[in-house]
Amino acid sequence: MVSDRPLPISEAWQTPDAYIEALLSFSTTSVLFMNLCGGVHMVDFLTREPDLYTTSLPEDWREFFTHHDIQDIIHLLLREDIDQLRNADQPAMDQGSRTWNGGAFPPQTLLDYIHTVRHLTLQREIRTPTPTSELPKQVAMRMNRKKVHEVQHFSQYVASLSETVHQRRGAPVSHIVDFGSGQNYLGRTLVSPPYHKHIIAIERQHQYISGAKTMDVRAKLAENPKAQYARKEKDSSDGQPDGQEGSLKMPALETTSADKLTVEDLQIAEGDSNLDMLGEISLTPDEILGSVTKDPQREKLLKEVDARGTLSYIEHDIQDGYLEPVVDHIIHPPIEDGDSKQDEGSAKLMVVSLHSCGNLVHHGIRSLILNPSIVVVAMIGCCYNLVTERLGPSKHGLPVLQSLHPRLKEAGASYDPHGFPMSRHYENYRSPGATTGMKLNITARALAVQAPYNWGPKDIEVSFTRHFFRALLQRILVDRNVIPKPSVSGDTPIEEKPYASKADSIIIGAVPKSAYKSFNAYVRAATIKMSQDPNYGTQVQEHIATMTDDEINDYETRYLHAKKHMSVVWSLMGFSAQLVEAIIVVDRWQFLREQESVKDCWVEPVFEYGYSPRNLAVIGLKK
């Protein structure tokens, strides 16, 4: 839990402050890093003259890459002993004769770049691995291996953290609030043995809550609503009023903020689209609603319901970190013999999040500061591309290497007070290579979800092919005058360039996996999607749909040499983007560190990287 090293960084760093200064300095002064993380977009790779391979990488790097296979290059970036290569005791006159892996030796600047990125990357190994409790089968239903691993480890971590808080404060955590609970795998586990926690699951999607309640019934954590209704009818017919001795206990499931649980909450209509969203749950009518005629089955179900933990659902769209009005009716319910509420200071809440998207993590972290009842937070983020920007667009004076897509303008000009960065240190940071304030555009943030150490040969080849096909299609669209040709980057800084309008961009979206069997198949599948574009649909039908197979195949032949170039640049981008995630995560920790009301805060890996690479939890404990 609490460590004397609050950030998972190399022991070579004497203090977190020294690490942060080096991280921010490198990311705002290294032209190569800024181009790879935020300055280059793969769609534009083949529409530039000279191409992005030439303009983004040093000449000696490009010469080195021509002598080595892409898998060897990835090995060099991720796993080769760089220190040994950098410190090899060779006379200067013999440098040109040195070899690596049977080919050219890496340039010193490339080795230095790899060393710096690795040195600044956050460590992802679990500090103190502990045995995890196996999830009950009924709780683990519908989970894949990755989700089982995440829920096993994080539920145990949350339970242990709550005990730490209990020991420190002398009072237990009364409720655990799950931000963006989704299908509620985490909450369902924490309410079950051996944890028996009181969970408040906040989710804005009604269909997720409805599906989660259905799974609660199947997991024997909630009573079948129709069986409950039948029991009440039986009690009434026996002359026994509700709440008197002889009535059965309510199960672990409570209701949403406003409405009582009804049969309709769990009834699944024929053809309901919710089933697809929640993994194609297949239930029989008896499983969903029970049977009013099968008392033994109902009695068995009720005996298996464990009511030591409680599970409450709140349908709510979280817009900020202030939660007191949202959860007050649960944490301070009216006492039974009057309308007054329980002691306002008795509730001690923990806010957790397992891979909440975008600003939800920011809201969760701020909740520790904004709510008296919240005493601890444990937040794991993902989908950094959905994080908004607080300080406006980047102005670093570098030549533009990607088309100024309208999304760059929209994201950069949002000035969202809930966005990145959170901390005052990042907001006021001034680098020799940039204006005041640490900024990351959407291109950089989208890269931060890469997991380069999980790349396998087959997976990475599929990824390279997809990037190549999309960039080559963009070349065709430009050549056949469907979309305008990007302006030459020249020396014009990004802040002086005009942004494209939405009408100048075309979004293809997802195409079937079968479309990637050949470039011809990809173009045909993409043409169907593009033909529906309101601005370019007609031109696509006239100029792309009419292309012959030979014309399409000729493009692939002419540009096939560029596939390796794209693969090299993409590998460098994914490798470098580890620092983008570090920048975002450290900012969240730095925000907590700056708060007077926070006693301890740290960042800790809680999953095995191989299973779940978004494994960094940001923890904050209130004084």
- Report d(CA 482, CA 74) in Å as an integer: 36
User: Is the confidence at residue 286, as pLDDT, over 90?
Assistant: no
Contact criterion met (CB below 8 Å) for 326 and 202: yes
Cα separation values, 99 from 65, 107, 456, 518, Å: 13, 11, 26, 37
Query: What secondary structure does DSSP assign to 350-402, as a single string?
Result: EEEEEEEETTHHHHHHHHHHH-TTEEEEEEEEE-GGG--BSS-S----PBP-S
User: What tens digit of pLDDT does each residue of 427-453 get?
Assistant: 999 987 667 899 999 999 999 999 999
User: Is the confidence at residue 611, as pLDDT, over 90?
Assistant: yes
User: Is the confidence at residue 306, as pLDDT, over 80?
Assistant: no
Q: Is the dihedral of CA 40, 46, 47, 52 positive or negative?
A: positive
- Report d(CA 392, CA 370) in Å as an integer: 25
User: Is the confidence at residue 293, as pLDDT, over 80?
Assistant: no
SS (H, E, C) 419-437: CECCCHHHHHCCCCCCCCC
> Which are the contacts of 26, defined by CB distance < 8 A and separation ≥ 6?
33, 116, 120, 579
Residue 308's pLDDT is: 79
Helix, strand, coil percentages (3-state) for the chain, rounded to 5, are 45, 10, 45
Contact criterion met (CB below 8 Å) for 27 and 15: no
Q: Where are the domains positioned within the chain?
A: 1-86+109-119+392-414+453-576, 205-315
User: What tens digit of pLDDT does each residue of 127-166 get?
Assistant: 877 777 889 888 998 899 999 999 999 999 999 999 999 9
User: Is the confidence at residue 547, as pLDDT, over 70?
Assistant: yes
Residue 128's pLDDT is: 77
| Average confidence score pLDDT of the chain | 83
User: What tens digit of pLDDT does each residue of 28-72 get?
Assistant: 999 999 999 999 989 999 998 888 999 999 999 999 999 999 999
The candidate with the shortest Cα–Cα distance to 13, out of 85, 114, 116, 101, is: 116
Burial class (CB in 10 A: 0-12, 13-18, 19+), 14: exposed
Residue 435's pLDDT is: 75
User: Is the confidence at residue 274, as pLDDT, over 70?
Assistant: no
- The residue assigned the tokens 């892409």 is 70
User: What tens digit of pLDDT does each residue of 65-107 get?
Assistant: 999 999 999 999 999 999 999 986 555 545 567 999 999 999 9
User: What tens digit of pLDDT does each residue of 360-404 get?
Assistant: 999 999 999 999 999 999 999 999 999 999 998 766 555 555 555
End-to-end CA distance of the chain: 16
Which of the four pLDDT bands, split at 50, 70 and 90, describes residue 621?
very high
**How large is the average pLDDT for residues 519-536?**
96
**How large is the average pLDDT for residues 6-25?**
97
Residue 86's pLDDT is: 93
- Report d(CA 80, CA 78) in Å as an integer: 6
Which of the four pLDDT bands, split at 50, 70 and 90, describes residue 505?
confident
The pLDDT > 90 percentage for the chain reads 67
Q: Of all helices (H) and strands (E), which one includes residue 467?
A: helix 457-479
User: What tens digit of pLDDT does each residue of 220-241 get?
Assistant: 888 877 666 566 666 666 655 4
- Report d(CA 288, CA 285) in Å as an integer: 5
User: What tens digit of pLDDT does each residue of 582-594 get?
Assistant: 999 999 999 999 9
The pLDDT > 70 percentage for the chain reads 77
Please state at what angle helix 225-237 crosses helix 295-304, rounded to 10 degrees: 110
- Report d(CA 223, CA 250) in Å as an integer: 8
User: Is the confidence at residue 473, as pLDDT, over 50?
Assistant: yes
User: Is the confidence at residue 341, as pLDDT, over 80?
Assistant: no
Half-sphere exposure for 138 (CA within 13 Å, toward CB): 16
**How large is the average pLDDT for residues 462-482?**
96
Residue 114's pLDDT is: 99
Adjacent-strand bridge partners of 107: none
Residue 401's pLDDT is: 53
User: Is the confidence at residue 468, as pLDDT, over 70?
Assistant: yes
Residue 413's pLDDT is: 61
Of residues 496 and 83, which shows the higher confidence score?
Answer: 83
The structure's pTM equals 0.84
User: What tens digit of pLDDT does each residue of 169-222 get?
Assistant: 999 999 999 999 999 999 999 999 999 999 999 999 999 999 999 999 998 888
- Report d(CA 555, CA 561) in Å as an integer: 11
R_g over Cα of the chain: 28
